[in-house]
Amino acid sequence: MEEPPAAPEPGAAAAGDGKWEALRRLLESIPQHPVTFSHPRTWMFRARRMADFVGHVRHSSSQVLARLNPYPKPFRHVHYRTEDGVQIAGWLGPQHEGAASPWGLLLVPGMFATKDDTAHKRRAILIHRHWKIPVLAIDMRAFGESTGIGTAGWKEAFDVMGGAKFLAEQTGVTRVAVLAESMAGAAALNALALDAETRTDLLSGGVLCYSAFVDAKDAVGYISAKPPKGHPFASSFAGFRRLLMAKSMGQYERFDDLLDDVAKVNGLSGIDEMFDLANPKWKVPLIKQPTLLVHATNDPVVPVRHAHRMERYADGKPNIQVLITTWGEHTQFEPLDPHWYWEVNRRFFGAVNNVDLENLAGK
């Protein structure tokens, strides 16, 4: 099996030497063999995912399910406070005895998803068990067991930075990698800017985002308006609206209406000011850590134009790379082609941290 290209000092951006472009080209060359959406594995994954969404959409039910179906030992249930005082819930996999790792991984599910979902829980356990590194899986604010109000990726950046600091404090790692999806990917990009602004330099383990948006106004407007019949998002819109109504106890059918009120609660003039704060695109000049965005051209929830915009915003910054596939829809890469999904994870984090990692497909 071909190994990742030799990396510079772990976490270094290696600006100008082409190493991250070379890594992206290597990732693009990995054979892709996605199954169709009629494949039983795909249907099972989507059924479990919907059950997870429904089961964890309320804070109270999520707490009950976390107690009834906990992570296995040595994971432990934890909480930490963010910079703005929100309590974030997580499961922490500690250092392995006799093999302390200098880096660990923060796993951040997207909107309506939680650390206790079948897919995210399995990923966290596999990474901890086979890569032999500390792992912290969390719920973003307003989802799962975490408190607070969602802000479309703005204050969720505090959740990510707080998780990285908590992981470092609890396990002694000096570098934190982030694996995030959808809105959590946007939050991770915003956290990279915080990491640079505060000179924390903690997210040097690499940030890998699947199906992330980079323009909050465009993303929120897209999922808030009812699409016409036959539109790619039409089949998902009804389910998204029902989840939003369940989460808001029937108060909101449109995400933009909810966020407009959230903006005012946070002392902002309105939703446009929140979009400015939540937009990762303005933060791109600050991002200095190795960052990879993976996106599908057939994503019905976050259109691929977001990935193309990041390519433009990041022009001249080799530490930020974008990998686009013709398949994968929205965060469906693992069930469609698990070998490819884990190979991308293994090679990216392996190259950034200068280690040889295992492909976890089929484990």
Tens digits of residue pLDDT in 171-207:
999 999 999 999 999 999 999 999 999 999 999 999 9
Per residue in 71-84, pLDDT (tens digit) is 999 999 999 999 99
Please give the residue range of the domain that contains residue 297: 19-353
Domain total of the chain: 1
Region 107-113 average pLDDT? 95
Predicted confidence (pLDDT) at residue 2 exceeds the cutoff of 70 = no
Helix, coil or strand: residue 79: strand
**Is position 50 within any domain?**
yes
Question: In this structure, is residue 37 part of a structural domain?
Answer: yes
Question: For the domain that residue 175 is a member of, what is the CATH number?
Answer: 3.40.50.1820
- Mean pLDDT calculated for residue range 32-37: 90
Burial of 286 (0-12, 13-18, 19+ CB in 10 A): middle
pLDDT tens per residue across span 241-257: 988 998 888 899 999 99
Q: Identify whether 3 is part of a domain.
A: no
Q: 6 in a domain, yes or no?
A: no
Counting Cα atoms < 13 Å in the Cβ hemisphere of 5 gives 13
Assigned token pair, 67 = 């107690």
Pairs from 283-286 (Cβ < 8 Å, separation ≥ 24): 283/189, 283/190, 283/192, 283/193, 284/310, 284/313, 284/314, 284/317, 284/320, 285/317, 286/192, 286/193, 286/196, 286/197
Instruction: Give the span between the Cα atoms of 53 and 48, in whole angstroms.
Output: 9
**Position 101 in a domain:** yes
**243: in domain:** yes
236 lies in some domain: yes
Length of the chain: 363
Report yes or no on 129 lying in a domain.
yes
